[in-house]
Structure 1
Amino acid sequence: MAALSSPLLGARHIQNLSAATVLEPHWGYADRAVPCTSDPGSCAYLDVVYSAHDRGMLYSGIFWSIIGAILLIWACWRHYDRPMMSPILVAPQLSGLYKIRRSFAALTNQFLLPDACRIIFGRTTRLQVLVLASLASYLLVFSFVGMSYNTWVTPVSGMANTYNTRSSIGPWADRIGVFAYALTPLSIMLSSRESFLSLITGIPYQSFNFLHRWLGYIIFVQSSLHTIGWCIVELRLYQPQPSVGIEWVTQTYIVWGIVAMILLLMLFALSTPWGIRATGYETFRKLHYVLAMVYIGACWGHWKQLKCYLWPSLIFWFLDRGARFVRTAILHYHPDRFDQSRVLSFKPAEAAITRFPDEEHGDVIRLDMENPQDIWAVGQHYYLCFQKGSIWQSHPFTPLNAPTLLQGKVKHSYIFRAKKGETKKIADLAATGIPTTPVILTGAYGEAIMENLTPDTNIICVAGGTGITYVLGVLLELAQQQAPSPDRKIELIWAIRHTSNTKWISEELSLLRKAKKDLNLKVKIFATRDSNSRPHSIEVDEPSKTFAADEDEKAVQVKPVCAASDSDVCDCPSGSVEKLGGSANSSQRHPSLHKMIPGFLQDTVRGPTTVFASGPGGMISDLRSIVASCNSGSKVWKGQERFDVSLICDDRLEW
């Protein structure tokens, strides 16, 4: 962006301040000297420069106004559009607005839930890509409209036969530079764990990570084009060269601009999958925090006239970091507990470690702890920092138990597979026989996934491996309800490698077995790499298309038969472990979700269905397509709620 900080810049910008009768202010830009006393071509160029900038500020203001209006409408919609519960009927009385909402939700799931262009966007829904496309379209259109495009050849003052070529490249580069600044606060908001957007919309903060990442790519492209545009102008079109270019590039605001561009390039490179793999996720995350703040400072040094966009960015960033610190302090500050010196102290929770050895895929670790605190909502997660590993790293884990407050304490239980890094350190610690480890908690974060469930909502939980932690809390919470709905159907589908994996949550499975009849619950567990050595009848099923299975292979599925080792886990036939595979080297089998989900819906009595899921990315992608095919907005509008199927999955898979 051009400035008036030196005589040479003033000459190039043809602003004769001494002859001006008034300095006309322009928000976010240098004041304009009025009237213009230069040659007609230069004055016409200045008209384009200032009008293009003013419109750019207007368009960025409209952009933020649209975001504000969307958030306001969203907040009102969430507040007023809730089902009215009847004291007589089990099912809610649905208002007309609620019916419209459910029909629209079914229609949205039908067309926008599946993955979109996975080779470019990864495992991301069409809805998120549509939002990104809408944002990018606005920026693309308004980067060009409202601007005159022309070229002016003007004489250089005091130099015969020397001319400057002034064009609309400069004003256009300024326009996209303004947009890059205007997008910075939104990028910070989309990355915040203590998310202001989540408070308004109810969408968990991790669901904004996709937009944050791609908005960063857009800012990088805008900043690169802004830099290239002005390099063309200052190093080629303005004369005489190279003196003009050297004078320009050595100015303070240009130096800060170069620093900002280098920092942005580093942020871009480190955020790519290659960059994250090369540095490690924790290193990438901490570098991202630091580089982002230094980048905002460099932007301030480059063009402080646009600090109206930089102040909010800094405020949101510091509020996020401060709120995280406060959350952690509250969880571990217990005023009724003193150390021997009678001084209040910060106490981490002491977690009991249970290790389940697995040499092939990495040990599974279970942590059980108690902490004096308020209860969390089912579906939320905590960040765990293992003090004996590194206090500079924390990892998100979902409690597998339903939150219950007993004598002022809440129990936490977690399971995770220890492959490398901090989790591997905990596994090594457990292998030495050490029974406990101190843990620092931060949270709870994420969505209360049972908040909008009505009594007639049918529930099917699908999990793969340790993903059972996300869905198990739902089932345990339902088991604690005093008056379960008799018409509601509930089912658990859990795919594990080996039957012995059920020991991870044997206590919780026992609780579900006791509540199975009251809940109308079916438990289906599939051991994908175990073969049943006992005589049993088998049937050949259609080839499974889920979990990226080989379509040319017949999946051999075992009818429910409980082995002796399963008796402490399940009751035949509904809770048996079906052994679908053979050895670890054989072709892996998986449950046929593309048949099981529609079959579940076909047997429902009434009401919509919610699918809770957590597991491998392939499973989530398959479920998105399956659930989308089960939805029909038109049928829901006609009263067939069976075709209103929603999917709630663990979005942390996309981190």
Structure 2
Amino acid sequence: MESLTTPNSILRRQHIQNFSEASQLEPHWGYAYRVVPCTNDPGSCAYLDAVYDAHDVGMLYTGIFWATVLGILLVWGIGRRVFPAREPVDDLLAQLSSNESTPQRPKPSFLSRSFSAVTSSVRHHLLPTAPLKSIFGHTTRLQLVILTVLTAYLSIWSFVGIVYGKWVTPIKGQPADVVNTRTSLGPWADRVGVLAYALTPLSVLFAARESILSAVTGVPYTSFMFLHKWTGYIILAQSLLHTLGWVLIEGWLYKPQPDVWNKWVVQEYAIWGFVALGLLVLLWICSFQWVIKNVTGYEFFRKAHYVMAMVYIGALIGHWEELQCFLVPGIVLWVVDRLARLGRMGMLHCGYQRKVGRWGFSSAEAEAKVWKDERFGDVVRLDFEHHQKAWNIGQHFFLCFTEGSLWQSHPFTPLSLPQTNNVGDVKHSYVFRAKGGETRKIARVLEEKLKEEREGRTTTTNVVLQGPYGENIVEGLTQDVNVLCVAGGTGITYVLPVLLRLVREKVNPNRKTELVWAVKRKQDLEWVEPELEELRRLGAAHGLQIRIFVTADDAVSEVRTTAGDEKKVSEDVDSKSVSAGSDQSQNQRPDVNVAVNEFVGNVAQGSTRVFGSGPPSMITELREAVAQRNSGSKVWKGEERFDVRLVCDDRLEW
């Protein structure tokens, strides 16, 4: 209990309780103090009992909600370390069972076979793209299931633990027929409001690039963006329901009107509530792809999103500061994320600069090559060396072009194999298509420099790096795992490092490896010509098969080649041309489903991992194809080739 010296700033909802007749104030975490004993009429006192009990229970439920989230993360984090992605016991047995350079893998253990069968079954059902793509986008069924579970969980906590009833109470100084109608709408509206506050730090966690969730789960931060978006939608729905509930109460159920409404709507906490809701609606509108594409642009949306989100949290504190226990952590997480990003950039670019012989900050000078393409967008390749620790295959960097805008950066996956040379430098190579925005701007800058220099197709530009981000996509990729890489256009940068690593490993004649790559033009092969030549040269011993589809030239064509062939790939494309009027022209790019089926069908032993990168339509087909080839029952019977795992550049690993 508290004395009556409690500051007036915490005495909310004074229109319900009579503080002038109070003998004591009872504190309630996250809510207004309660006057005890209740000096109102019996109906109002019963209503206040329901309100405060519902709030106290609701705060308990938010604790249970966060305990559940943290418990899941704890179990997940421990599980990743106790049961890593690879199968260490079986791998060790394989090494001990034979002294050959390519040991035969023993029969999987009961535990390993059980785990593989279960995960294969889960992929079969949950890997395909979710229905209603117009609403949920190109996400998987798994993401939709997680969202459904979260929504159902929150819905339960929104309704349980509330006394439902109706209390009609008299009003002092008013006729007998002018009464207040108090219902359970009040405590219910408060409950969904509290849950909206409780979800705020989770939404910030989902959006963080320096992700605590990724560090614990191993899932890349980009995979949480879908949940960040839809958690925001849930918060918006909760906020609308909370506001609607109290608008109905203050503007209709309480009497006399409009006196009650006019007194309530000008209170500071109510004004801040409407400001917060307005900002939330604006955030929602600005998140539509149509608005981003045609009105704001992505960079403006991103910067405005940060600003509006922080102002929104500030407005929430102004609305109900007693619940800032949920809001301050959200602000702290956001600030830590921003500082960590700056820290990463500083670690990459601050230090002793050998080329200039001084300490300080220095950008990386990249050799740039441009391929003009008026139809589909110019393509740029960047090559440079930078002094740093090697990253993991599959990770990406955010690149800022100093000749463009210092306030914009874009994510790119290096196509080069991350290896540190004898002076501590690592080679970076990137290929990207300049369709619009900052990438188109930098392509034009490079084109102008080429015109001025008049020295072929190569010039230089400076870049600032931030990263690396993402997961190690070759973790657990042992020699008995078969590898299929499927790429579309510049998506080749995601899969090339995987293949470059494989062709430099010991040869396993039982492993099947293949690359399927769709490009627009024959000239596109020049983007990665040195890497293709290395694959052809070293991949011969590995039986690496390379299939390249040209989809937009005058002649639709496919080239099938085995690494080690004497012909160059570009020559093979010319020799394998197919007329545009043939049956193949109906499906100009590779049939992903056929490619996956043929590959898995020809696997001799071991499981399969499919690496994919390309347009959303290709990834959607690839998910469907991989899902169909997974079969838990067949894996349980020992047919490991039906344990097919997909790793694609939407950063959601299966």
TM-score (normalizing by structure 2): 0.90
1:148 shift after superposition: 1.7
Single out whichever of 181-190 and 512-521 deviates more from structure 2.
512-521
Deviation at 1:561, TM superposition (A): 8.7
Q: How far apart, in 2, do the equivalents of 1:287 and 1:6 lie?
A: 32
Is 1:202 matched with 2:187?
no
Q: How far 1:112 moved relative to its partner? A: 0.3
What is the distance in 1 between the residues matched to 2:376 and 2:614?
Answer: 15
SS at match of 1:505: helix
* Pairing partner for 1:288 from 282, 302, 305: 305
Give the letter for the 2:139 counterpart: T
Aligned equivalent of 1:304? 321
Pairwise CA distance, 1:365: 0.6
Q: What does residue 531 of structure 2 align with?
A: 508
Structure 2 distance, partners of 1:568, 1:461, is: 20
Q: What do the CA deviations read for 1:33-56 (whole angstroms, capped 9, x no partner)?
A: 222222110111001101111121
> What pairs with 1:27-176 in structure 2 (closer than 5 Å)?
27-82=29-84, 83-84=87-88, 85-86=91-92, 87-89=95-97, 90=103, 91=105, 94-117=108-131, 118-161=133-176, 162-176=178-192
Q: Counterpart of 2:3?
A: none
Whether the aligned pair in 1 keeps the contact of 2:310 and 2:331 (CA below 8 Å) is yes
1:577 & 1:413 partners in 2: Cα distance? 30
**What is the distance in 1 between the residues matched to 2:184 and 2:361?**
60
CA change 1:123–1:46 in 2 (3 A) is same
- The residue that corresponds to 2:635 in the other structure is 636
Equivalent position amino acid for 2:43 in 1? G
Q: Distance in 1 between matches of 2:122 and 2:10?
A: 59
Per-residue deviation at 1:420? 1.6
Structure 2 SS opposite 1:64? helix
For 1:507, the aligned partner's letter is P
Match of 2:389 in 1: 374
CA shift digits 1:227-265 (9 cap, x unpaired): 111111111221222222121111111111111111111
Q: Is the 8 A contact 1:16 1:37 kept in 2?
A: no
Distance 1:23 1:188, change over 3 A: same
Name the CA shift for 1:617/1:447 in 2 (closer, same or farther; >3 Å): same
* Structure-2 separation of matches of 1:307 and 1:623: 45
Among 22, 25, 48, which residue is 1:23 paired with? 25
For residue 359 of structure 1, give the secondary structure of its aligned residue in structure 2.
coil
Work out whether residues 386 and 427 of structure 2, in 8 Å CA contact, stay in contact via their aligned partners in 1: yes
SS of 1:410's equivalent?
strand
Residues 52, 42 of structure 1: alpha-carbon distance in 2 compared, 3 angstrom cutoff? same
Separation (CA, whole Å) in 1 of partners of 2:412 and 2:516:
21
Residue 154 of structure 1 contacts residue 165 of structure 1 at CA under 8 Å; is this kept in 2?
Answer: yes
Q: Partner residue of 2:497?
A: 473
Q: In structure 2, do the counterparts of structure 1 residues 624 and 581 end up closer, same or farther at CA, with 3 Å as the change threshold?
A: farther
> For 2:276, which of 257, 260, 265 is the aligned residue?
260
Q: How big is each residue's C-alpha offset from its partner over 1:138-181, in whole Å with a ceiling of 9 and x where there is no partner?
A: 11122112212211111123434332111111111100000100
**Paired residue type of 2:134:** I
Change over 3 Å in CA distance of 1:411–1:79 after alignment to 2: same
CA contact (8 A) 2:11 2:32 kept: no
1:124 Cα deviation after fit: 0.9
Residues 282-335 of structure 1, C-alpha deviation per residue, up to 9 Å, x if partnerless?
110110111111111111111111111112101110110000000001111122
Alignment gaps of 5+ in structure 2: 1-5, 98-102, 454-458
> 1:520 pairs with 537, 543, 546, which one?
543
Aligned with residue 191 of structure 1, among 192, 196, 207: 207
CA distance in 1, matches of 2:470, 2:11: 55
Instruction: Tell me the amino acid that sits aligned with residue 117 of structure 2.
Output: S
Q: How far apart are residue 415 of structure 1 and its match? A: 0.5
1:429 Cα deviation (Å)?
2.1
How much identity, in percent, do the aligned residues show? Answer: 50
Residue 264 of structure 1 contacts residue 295 of structure 1 at CA under 8 Å; is this kept in 2? yes
Q: Is the 8 A contact 2:11 2:33 kept in 1?
A: no
Task: Judge conservation of contact 1:169–1:229 (CA < 8 Å) in 2.
Answer: yes
Separation of aligned partners in 2, 1:421 and 1:439: 17
Residues in 2 aligned to 1:4 and 1:581: alpha-carbon distance in whole angstroms: 84
Counterpart of 1:442 (choices 466, 469, 480) is 466
